[in-house]
Amino acid sequence: MTRRSSIPREVGLDHTKDVLREGYQYIPNRKKAFQSDFFESRILGENTVFMSGVEGAELFYNTEYFKREGAAPKRVQKTLLGEHGVQGLDGPAHRHRKEMLMSLMSEERLQVLDQTIETYLEQYIEKWEKEKSIKLYDEAVEMIFQIACDWAGIPLEQHEIRNLAPKTADLFETPATIGLKQFKGRNSRIQLEDWAKDLIVKTREKDLHPLEETALHVIAWHRDLEGKLEDLDAVADDLLNIIRPMVAISIYVTFTAHAVVHHPKEVEKLRMDGDPDSYKRFIQEVRRFYPFFPFNVARVKQDFVYRGHAFKENDQVIFDFHGTNNDPKIWDNPDLFKPDRFKEWDGSPFNFVPQGGGDYLGGHRCAGEWITIRMMQIFLHYFVEKIDFEVPPQDMSYSLVHPPTMPNSKIVMKNVRWKA
Ligand code: HEM
């Protein structure tokens, strides 16, 4: 029988090893070779359609065609996501849970977060002034863990900060690892889920009294579509769905410092410009230029044909975040760090996808994009306007293979001090 598909197919039995070897570049490399935003290959023993670019995003985020149930690999669920969070839901159950999470992102709550970030940054800078040098990523993980818990209404003991902050980082550092590192990530998730469940039970039993508008209160008291208090496993995963990704912003903070060090002319423009939007454009360019999550997985909801390709129920599909953010058909000279390109950006939810695309409530686009942008902007403001620091010789290069990547040195800063 002839295959009627206009989607090119990679020849060979299985290409999982190529995905592992080429990392962020696996999809962009084939996109270039096939001169196509769509191609088919076989990974983890399954035929898989890979998609990239605007058309790929429009298709991937069409919830008529794709579902998330059963999509995320076990190693990702057991570390990064959990098995009961919003990411694996579809239809009305997804929308109901997502509405609850999005209700935490009101302007009032974001303003409280801005204040909280500044308070902790000021404390940490006081501390950094007394130290010869600091490793920015490690400091950011510890600081943002406290910011996230403070903002979410979670009380913390000193020993919990030292213990739980690095475990939270394990969740997003280990999903693509194997062996001991994967084991460590899974262990950290078990411990963090126990911690989250304990917080929720104590809130429900009125042993803890978080403020009504905080994430702990809202998530602990959330009711499902039948009006029953949500299942404990589900709400524990969703509480971690707030804390974990906030801590993951540490990677973007580290890349923001990388950009500040490598693009002094752009930093000078920030200082001279006086345009508050120039900070946002710089941050948007950090999110476009630097790699974070390379791609995401979904499954076909029901049979359909697209571009002459027969998508069958439960087929695996993968959408390319990194290649879309660096697609020369969308971005002029994508390899250049040019924040001003965002002066002309049309705001499309399908051409700039560092945290997913499409719709927030009807789809799976990241719930924390506004938090991410605002937090990065505040850190950038401090790096540019509030502190001076030196950057001793170090290896600031970053791998394009192992996600999530970051500068090898984690950005060492010396002689951090308040500006005169
Ligand atoms: C380091 C910054 C972040 C990055 C790179 C990031 C990236 C992503 C990506 C790629 C997705 C999946 C989109 C898809 O399914 O197609 C996602 C989903 C999600 N993110 Fe983020 N995120 C970040 C920060 C945050 C923050 C700060 C929060 C909350 C405070 C958050 C909460 C969520 C939630 C709840 C989902 C699941 C949404 C759903 O399935 O409907 N993220 N994020």
Ligand 1 atom closest to Cα of residue 98: 41
The annotation status of 149 as a binding-site residue, yes or no, is: no
Most informative mutation of 96, 112, 318, 366 for ligand 1 (most atoms within 8 A of CB): 366
Band of the pLDDT at 389, cuts 50, 70, 90?
A: very high
Q: Where are the domains of the chain?
A: 16-418
Band of the pLDDT at 213, cuts 50, 70, 90?
A: very high
Is 350 in contact with 61 (CB distance < 8 Å)? Answer: yes
d(CA 295, CA 338): 23
Is 313 in contact with 67 (CB distance < 8 Å)? Answer: no
d(CA 290, CA 368): 18
Q: How far is the CA of 4 from the centre of ligand 1 (A)?
A: 36
Residue 410 predicted with pLDDT over 60:
yes
Residue 273 predicted with pLDDT over 90:
no
How high is the mean pLDDT of the chain?
Answer: 97
Which residues have any ligand 1 atom within 6 Å of their CB? 86-87, 98, 101, 241-242, 245-246, 248-249, 252, 292-293, 296, 321, 354-356, 364-368, 371-372
pLDDT on residue 4 = 60
Burial bucket for residue 130 (CB in 10 Å: 0-12, 13-18, 19+):
exposed
Burial 225-236 (b: 16+ CB within 10 A, else e): eeeeebebebbb
Residue 226's contacts (CB-CB under 8 Å, 6 or more residues apart) are none
Q: Which two three-digit tokens encode residue 176?
A: 């693509």
CA-based nearest residue to 241, from 72, 407, 122? 72
Per-residue pLDDT reduced to its tens digit, 47-70: 999 999 999 999 999 999 999 999
Band of the pLDDT at 373, cuts 50, 70, 90?
A: very high
d(CA 100, CA 106): 11
Residue 183 predicted with pLDDT over 50:
yes
pLDDT on residue 275 = 87
Percent of the chain with pLDDT over 90: 97
pLDDT on residue 229 = 98
Q: Which two three-digit tokens encode residue 228?
A: 């029953």
Band of the pLDDT at 276, cuts 50, 70, 90?
A: confident
Rg (CA), the chain: 22
Residue 327 predicted with pLDDT over 80:
yes
Residue 117 predicted with pLDDT over 60:
yes
pLDDT on residue 3 = 56
- Protein residue whose Cα sits closest to atom 40 of ligand 1: 87
- Protein residue whose Cα sits closest to atom 26 of ligand 1: 368
CA-based nearest residue to 101, from 211, 206, 242? 242
Q: How far is the CA of 219 from the centre of ligand 1 (A)?
A: 17
- Say if domain 16-418 classifies as CATH 3.40.50.720: no
pLDDT on residue 69 = 97
Q: How far is the CA of 355 from the centre of ligand 1 (A)?
A: 6
Band of the pLDDT at 93, cuts 50, 70, 90?
A: very high
d(CA 283, CA 271): 15
- Protein residue whose Cα sits closest to atom 13 of ligand 1: 356
Q: How far is the CA of 127 from the centre of ligand 1 (A)?
A: 31
pLDDT on residue 319 = 98
What would the mean pLDDT of 382-403 be, rounded to a whole number? 97
Q: Higher model confidence: residue 3 or residue 173?
A: 173
pLDDT on residue 6 = 81
Q: How far is the CA of 61 from the centre of ligand 1 (A)?
A: 14
Per-residue pLDDT reduced to its tens digit, 224-264: 999 999 999 999 999 999 999 999 999 999 999 999 999 99
d(CA 298, CA 1): 28
pLDDT on residue 1 = 47
pLDDT on residue 274 = 77
pLDDT on residue 149 = 99
pLDDT on residue 5 = 76
Band of the pLDDT at 322, cuts 50, 70, 90?
A: very high
What would the mean pLDDT of 395-407 be, rounded to a whole number? 97
Q: How far is the CA of 413 from the centre of ligand 1 (A)?
A: 29
Residue 2 predicted with pLDDT over 80:
no
- Protein residue whose Cα sits closest to atom 17 of ligand 1: 366
Ligand 1 atom closest to Cα of residue 60: 16
